[in-house]
Amino acid sequence: MKKLLFILSITMSLSLAAQVETVTIDWSFGSNPSASGNANTDRTIEIGDTVEWNWYASGSHNVVSSGGTETFNSGATTSTPGVNFSYTFTNLGSTDFVCQPHSGNMFGTITVVPEGTLGVQQFETPTKFSIFPNPGNNEMNINIPTLSDELQLEVFDLLGKRVYSEYLNGLNTKLNISKWKSGMYLVRLTSDNQDIKLTKRFVKL
């Protein structure tokens, strides 16, 4: 009975939170819809996802919504590389945003669609990955849509201890988790240059 209640509670928490993703935008001069990589600012996300703007180069910048379904403001301009501003989108539709001092050069649009709308096959670079079954007991299957960069797979328990690590060499990876302790784990994919940083929750029964 206790195990059943544990499974039900974990399943409910996963249904509420497991699909939430964080999308990173590198924010500096030239960050706009015509840029490549993480500096591209024309993004489509699912409702409940978070966008993180990362100040990564020189210049004094902020990020402010300029129209649409959401309103946000990072505050005063700052010129410190490594500063981040995050906003979670909770309304469907599109929101435009700019850097106020450089609105002609730094601007973009976030389009929010219903959860489950985006299929992994729509992305040319890994922006999401799937884990199944989740919860699982004996094995964990990890699928990514493309492998355009060498990705490191790491699994951490909730105490922050790394319990598994490997570099992926294929789109599908299967792990034997039969000897892992029951509980929740964080599964993380990162690229060597840190352009890709993805995390999902996984529950071992």
Residues 106 and 124 in one domain: no
Q: Which of 73, 90, 113 is the last residue of a domain?
A: 113
Residues 6+ apart with CB under 8 A from 145: 120, 121, 123, 126, 128, 129, 171
Q: For residue 28, what are its two tokens? A: 């500096």
Give the amino acid at 111. T
Q: Which of 96, 113, 130 is the last residue of a domain?
A: 113
Number of domains, the chain: 2
What percentage of the chain exceeds 70 in pLDDT? 82
Residues 147 and 99 in one domain: no
Strand 50-55 relative to strand 22-27: parallel, antiparallel, unpaired? parallel
* CATH number assigned to the domain comprising residue 126: 2.60.40.3080
Residues 30 and 106 in one domain: yes
Q: Which of 77-91, 168-182, 183-197 has the lowest mean pLDDT?
A: 183-197
Residues 26 and 105 in one domain: yes
Region 122-129: mean pLDDT is 54
- The pLDDT score that the predictor gives to residue 195 is 66
Residues 167 and 198 in one domain: yes
107 has pLDDT over 90? yes
State the residue range of the domain holding 151: 120-204
Note whether residue 10 is domain-resident.
no
* CATH number assigned to the domain comprising residue 35: 2.60.40.420
Rounded Cα gap, residues 12 and 8, in angstroms: 6
Residues 173 and 95 in one domain: no
pLDDT tens digits along 176-198? 999 999 988 888 888 776 567 78
Q: For residue 173, what are its two tokens? A: 């990876």
Note whether residue 5 is domain-resident.
no
User: Vertex 189, ends 63 and 88: CA angle to 5°?
Assistant: 30
Q: Which of 52, 80, 113 is the last residue of a domain?
A: 113
Residues 61 and 86 in one domain: yes
Higher pLDDT, 6 or 148: 148
Residues 91 and 55 in one domain: yes
Residues 171 and 191 in one domain: yes
Rounded Cα gap, residues 14 and 111, in angstroms: 24
159 has pLDDT over 90? no
- The pLDDT score that the predictor gives to residue 122 is 36
Q: For residue 132, what are its two tokens? A: 């199944």
Residues 145 and 69 in one domain: no
User: Beta partners for 37?
Assistant: none
Which of 192, 133, 199, 135 lies closest to 168, judged by CA? 192
Burial class (CB in 10 A: 0-12, 13-18, 19+), 151: buried
108 has pLDDT over 60? yes
- The pLDDT score that the predictor gives to residue 198 is 84
Question: Are 111 and 94 contacting, i.e. CB atoms less than 8 angstroms apart?
Answer: yes
Q: What's the pTM value of the predicted model, to 2 decimals?
A: 0.52
Note whether residue 6 is domain-resident.
no
- The pLDDT score that the predictor gives to residue 124 is 40
Rounded Cα gap, residues 201 and 108, in angstroms: 30
